[in-house]
Amino acid sequence: MEENPEEKTKPVLTAGSLSCPAAEGEAPNPADLQCRRIADSLPSTAWLVSSVTICERLSYYAFVGPFQNYVQNSASDPLRPGALGLGQSKASLLVNIFLIISYVTPMGAGIVADGYLGRYRTVLLSLSLYILGVAVLFVTSIPSVLDNGAGLPGLIVAMILISLALGGVKASLPPMLAEQCSQIKPRIKITTTGERVIVDPDMTLQYAFDVYYWCMNIGAQSRIAATFIEKDVGFWAAYLMALCSIMAGVLIFFIGRRALIACEPQGSVLLPAIQALWVAIRHGFRMDAARPDVVLARDRKEVTWSDGLIDELKSALFACRAFAPFVIFWLCQAQMTTNTVSQAAEMETHGVPNDMLPNINSITVVIALPLVTKFVYPFLNRRGISTPPLRRVALGFFLEALGMAYAAGIQGWIYSSGPCYEHPRVCAASKNGSIPNNVNIGYQSPVYFLEGLSEVFASPAGYEYTFTKAPKSMKSIIQAVYGLTAAGGSIIALALTPTNKDPDLLGMYAGISGAMFVAALIVTVVSYKHEGKTMRDDDKS
Tell me the pLDDT tens digit for each residue of 201-249.
878 888 888 889 899 889 988 988 898 898 889 999 999 999 999 999 9
Same domain, 454 and 503: yes
What CA–CA distance (Å, rounded) separates 464 from 452?
18
Least confident of 154-158, 190-194, 356-360: 190-194
Cα 369 from Cα 182, distance rounded (Å): 23
Which H or E run contains 189? strand 187-190
Residue 27 belongs to some domain of the structure: no
Tell me: do 150 and 257 sit in the same domain. Answer: yes
d(CA 80, CA 434): 9
Give which of 129, 119, 187 is closest to 160, Cα–Cα.
129
15-24, 89-98, 410-419 — which one is most confidently predicted on average? 410-419
Q: What is the DSSP letter of 430?
A: G
Asked if the model's pLDDT at residue 320 lies above 80, the reply is: no
Give the pLDDT band (50/70/90) at residue 133: very high
237-276: b (≥16 Cβ within 10 Å) or e: bbbbbbbebbbbbbebbeebeeebbbbebbeebeebbeeb
CA distance 397 to 334: 14
Q: Are residues 62 and 112 in the same domain?
A: yes
Percent of the chain with pLDDT over 70: 90
**How far apart are the C-alpha atoms of 376 and 455, rounded to whole Å?**
15
Between 150 and 534, the more confident residue is 150
Under DSSP, the state recorded for 28 is P
What residue numbers bound the domain in which 426 lies?
311-540
pLDDT in tens, 60-103: 999 988 888 899 888 887 777 888 988 877 887 888 788 778 87
SS3 72: helix
Per the model's pLDDT, the better-predicted residue between 511 and 106 turns out to be 511
Q: Same structural domain for residues 286 and 422?
A: no
Residue 326: give its domain's CATH number. Answer: 1.20.1250.20
293 and 369 belong to one structural domain: no
Number of domains the chain contains:
3
State whether 281 and 355 are in the same domain.
Answer: no
Rounded Cα distance, 510 and 406, in Å? 9
The answer to the question of residue 72 being in a domain is yes
Count the alpha carbons within 13 Å of 349 in the hemisphere toward its beta carbon. 18
Tell me: pLDDT of 5 over 70: no
The contacts of residue 383 (CB under 8 Å, 6+ apart) are 11
pLDDT score of 55: 95
**Which residue has better confidence, 534 or 211?**
211
Residues β-bridged to residue 348:
440
400 and 476 co-located in one domain: yes
CA distance 200 to 204: 6
Interval 472-505: pLDDT, tens: 767 777 777 887 888 788 788 888 888 888 899 9
How far are the Cα atoms of 21, 90, 327, 399, 489 from residue 96, in angstroms, in the given order?
Answer: 58, 10, 14, 23, 9
pLDDT per position as a tens digit, 348-373:
988 887 878 888 888 999 999 999 98
Q: Is 134 in the same domain as 181?
A: yes
Answer yes or no: is 29 within a domain.
Answer: no
pTM: 0.72
What is the per-residue pLDDT for 539? 44
221 and 298 part of one domain: no
Nearest to 4 by CA among 203, 214, 272, 153: 203
* Structure confidence at residue 271 (pLDDT): 67
Nearest in space to 534 (alpha carbons), one of 406, 379, 389: 389
pLDDT at 280: 87
pLDDT at 538 over 80: no
Residue 51 lies in a domain: yes
Residues 371 and 234 in one domain: no
Q: Are residues 241 and 284 in the same domain?
A: no
Q: Are residues 359 and 395 in the same domain?
A: yes
Q: What percent of the chain has pLDDT over 90?
A: 32
**pLDDT at res. 137:** 94
